[in-house]
């Protein structure tokens, strides 16, 4: 019934409703003109609409407002009753779906989950357009959980709403503005810093590096060496991820500026178009592009590692010193592509500008080190030459690089800026002066180059140190390193220096999905271990007849397979993942320590773990538009359906608000705002 039907019933006109049932089964009548009025005073009942009698005199103001309040109260109770009936219908439908899932068994459940995971929000549109936006709240200051949630949403194709992007970029700009031109970091003993080259909007390559090395942490620092945006399809995602990690770990994540972080460049090569497509200008999206540009202007120019290795995007010149680079006003720099740096090409100058030519030339000379740091490239010939291919910057030889290192008291230059076939390259010969690292594989979809990243250990570290291992984090102990191509072997993928061991790790585009699938399998096994901890512990204790707390590896493996029902072909490659790298190939397994490696971040949710997949599918069924969010009422309906199906085992679902509270502050805020993120 709509409000007009309710109003007709209240006025006494014959309508479709004579009464309605409210909470607790109480019947609330609608009074007609021939019955007692719903007012408590002696105001006459409303005149029927079909009557020719003149309308009665208006009641007193107090009585009129009292009548209005009662009408609102009646309508509110009616609306609440309708919502309750709709929720009951939703719970009933979800219960039927849940019964079908339970009856079909585990294999059908897993198949439905795979279909759900492989269809991220927006996948029904070609290339994920129009873009989808998550309902998750991104609150500052950032926490580790909120940054990982952001990465998960971006990986699933869901962007954060504009207001949260603006807040993150404002915070990033303020943080970067406080930093010096040249950052300094000494790698802790037993650790290695990962240096990532050009990414150019290729979010998959960034995720591959993070999957291989792990997320940034104080023991796992990262340097991202510029050119985060342009040419690739996901520049916004790359930039947001890097800014978020830098805000979370300012002493472990270092961002250098590249030439594509300059406004006139990324306005031409795709980043501005991407921003306008993902955050429409007419809806305030133009502010997003401006905020990105302002944050880029404050990016530092270089990072000095172990006091000897200078990481910068482009290169050096014959006059540049580290001291010059440290004191220049980096925010004032803007590339002048019309000036080809001494080519002698004539140009037209407005008469009013002639008086300022000397001032402009002096300013460009002062900022020349910044231009060199962002644009210069190495070459085989000695000396410096104008870079006619790029239109700005210089080409510099080995003598120029050696002179800069000597003047600045440094040992090596690590730079990016150039796509190279193997992902890394020593232009002056292996181990000499300068190396290039480039991390975008199959660059822009037009080349077949590999991507690479560099690992630099602490001062005096050796290549044999575990931190410099080229293997992914989940590789089994004793596994062989990926075979290097002949070209990589000739260039020298490894080197030991007094300032630390250095290793380059190459990867091709085909490795990206392989590692992703492997880690997805690991996640499934870890979920199974968590869900069946008690069964596993009982099996291990039964097999441990001497109560030693240890089992031979083959016995541990056999019992684990039996309880988890894992195919034999899957478990051996997962030994390192399950047991941890510190296992080291020991012939025995301490099973209590093994089970202790797997625990929930929110222990209060442990009773729901066996029913997690059912909850995910129920929420996916409710999210018909694939928006990545459901209403708080829909979330409550899914929880009630679980409780109805599984009873006391899922008792926590009887109180959906407690489930949301246990999930964290973000879920609690989403509940109050009327929506809950499903991913």
Catalytic center residues:
260
Q: Which residue has the tokens 């305030």?
A: 284
Q: In degrees rounded to 5, what are phi and psi of residue 109?
A: -60, -45
> ω before 130 within 30° of 0 (cis)?
yes
Q: How far apart are CA 461 and CA 478, in angstroms?
A: 21
Residues 402-408: contacts with CB under 8 Å, at least 24 apart:
402/433, 403/318, 404/316, 404/317, 404/320, 404/321, 405/433, 407/321, 407/322, 408/310, 408/321, 408/322, 408/323
Residue 438 contacts residue 449 (beta carbons within 8 Å): yes
Give the whole-angstrom CA distance, residue 452 versus residue 424. 6
Residue 141: asked if its preceding bond is cis (omega within 30°), the reply is yes
Q: Please check whether residue 149 is in contact with residue 653, taking contact to mean a CB–CB distance below 8 angstroms.
A: no
What count of residues does the chain have? Answer: 679
Measured between alpha carbons, how far is 6 from 199 in angstroms, rounded to an integer? 62
Distance CA 394, CA 417 (A): 13
CA distance 600 to 598: 7
Q: Which two tokens stand for residue 490?
A: 């000739």
Q: Is the dihedral of CA 30, 36, 40, 43 positive or negative?
A: positive
Q: What tokens appear for 466 in the block?
A: 């575990």
Where are the alpha helices (H) located in 47-105, listed in sequence order? 61-104
Answer whether 47's CB lies under 8 Å from 34's CB.
Answer: no
Nearest-angstrom CA–CA distance, 246 and 312: 17
Distance between CA 67 and CA 64 in Å, rounded?
Answer: 5
Query: In Å, what is the CA distance from 195 to each residue of 56, 426, 463, 497?
Result: 84, 15, 16, 17
Spatial contact of 583 and 590, defined as CB atoms under 8 Å apart: no
Nearest by Cα to 494 from 412, 438, 430, 411? 430
């Amino acid at each position: 019934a709509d409000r007009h039907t309710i109003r007709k019933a209240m006025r006494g006109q014959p309508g479709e409703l004579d009464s309605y049932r409210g909470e607790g089964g109480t019947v609330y009548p609608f009074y007609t003109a021939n019955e007692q009025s719903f007012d408590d005073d002696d105001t006459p009942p409303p005149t029927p609409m079909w009557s020719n009698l003149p309308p009665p005199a208006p009641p007193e103001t107090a009585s009129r407002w009292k009548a209005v309040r009662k009408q609102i109260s009646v309508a509110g109770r009616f609306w609440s009753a309708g919502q309750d009936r709709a929720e009951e219908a939703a719970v009933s439908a979800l219960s039927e779906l849940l019964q079908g899932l339970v009856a079909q068994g585990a294999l059908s459940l897993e198949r439905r989950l795979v279909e759900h995971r492989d269809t991220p929000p927006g996948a029904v549109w070609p290339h994920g357009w129009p873009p989808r936006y998550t309902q998750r709240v991104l609150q500052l200051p950032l926490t580790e959980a909120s940054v990982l949630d952001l990465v998960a949403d971006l990986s699933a194709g869901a962007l954060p709403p504009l207001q949260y992007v603006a807040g993150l970029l404002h915070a990033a700009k303020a943080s970067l503005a406080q930093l010096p031109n040249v950052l300094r970091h000494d790698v802790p003993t037993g650790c290695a810093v990962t240096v990532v080259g050009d990414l150019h909007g290729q979010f998959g390559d960034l995720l591959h590096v993070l999957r291989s090395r792990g997320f940034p942490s104080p023991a796992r620092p990262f340097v991202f060496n510029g050119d985060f945006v342009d040419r690739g399809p996901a520049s916004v995602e790359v930039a947001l991820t890097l800014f978020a990690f830098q805000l979370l770990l300012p002493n472990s994540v270092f961002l250098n500026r590249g030439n594509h972080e300059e406004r006139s460049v990324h306005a031409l090569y795709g980043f501005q178009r991407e921003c306008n497509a993902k955050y429409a200008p007419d809806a305030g999206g133009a502010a997003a592009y401006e905020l990105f540009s302002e944050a880029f202007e404050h990016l530092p120019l270089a990072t000095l590692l172990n006091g000897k290795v200078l990481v910068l995007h482009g290169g050096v010149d014959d006059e540049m010193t580290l001291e010059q680079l440290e004191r220049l006003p980096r925010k004032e720099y803007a590339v002048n592509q019309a000036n080809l740096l001494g080519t002698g090409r004539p140009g037209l100058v407005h008469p009013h500008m002639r008086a300022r030519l000397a001032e402009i030339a002096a300013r460009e000379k002062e900022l020349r080190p910044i231009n060199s740091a962002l644009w210069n490239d190495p070459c085989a010939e000695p000396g410096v030459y104008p870079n006619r291919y790029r239109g700005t910057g210089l080409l510099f030889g080995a003598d120029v690089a050696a002179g800069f290192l000597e003047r600045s008291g440094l040992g090596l230059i690590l730079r990016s800026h150039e796509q190279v076939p193997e992902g890394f390259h020593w232009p002056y010969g292996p181990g000499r002066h300068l190396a290039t690292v480039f991390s975008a594989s199959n660059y822009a979809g037009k080349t077949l180059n590999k991507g690479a990243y560099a690992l630099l250990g602490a001062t005096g570290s050796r290549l044999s140190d575990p931190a410099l291992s080229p293997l992914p984090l989940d590789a089994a102990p004793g596994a062989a390193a990926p075979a290097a191509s002949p070209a990589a072997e000739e260039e020298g993928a490894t080197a030991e220096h007094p300032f630390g061991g250095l290793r380059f790790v190459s990867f091709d585009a085909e490795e990206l999905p392989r590692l992703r699938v492997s880690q997805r399998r690991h996640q499934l096994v870890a979920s199974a271990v968590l869900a069946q901890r008690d069964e596993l512990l009982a099996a291990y204790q039964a097999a441990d007849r001497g109560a030693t707390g240890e089992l031979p590896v083959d016995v541990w493996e056999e019992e684990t397979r039996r309880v988890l029902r894992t195919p034999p072909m899957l478990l051996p490659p997962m030994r390192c993942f399950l047991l941890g790298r510190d296992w080291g190939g020991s012939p025995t397994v301490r099973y209590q320590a093994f089970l202790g490696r797997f625990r929930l971040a929110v222990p209060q949710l442990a009773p729901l773990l066996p029913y997690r997949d059912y909850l995910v599918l129920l929420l996916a069924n409710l999210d018909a538009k694939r928006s990545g969010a459901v209403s708080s009422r829909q979330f409550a309906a899914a929880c009630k359906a679980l409780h109805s199906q599984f009873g006391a085992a899922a008792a926590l679902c009887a109180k959906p608000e407690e489930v949301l509270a246990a999930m964290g502050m973000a879920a609690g805020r989403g509940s109050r705002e009327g929506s809950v993120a499903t991913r």
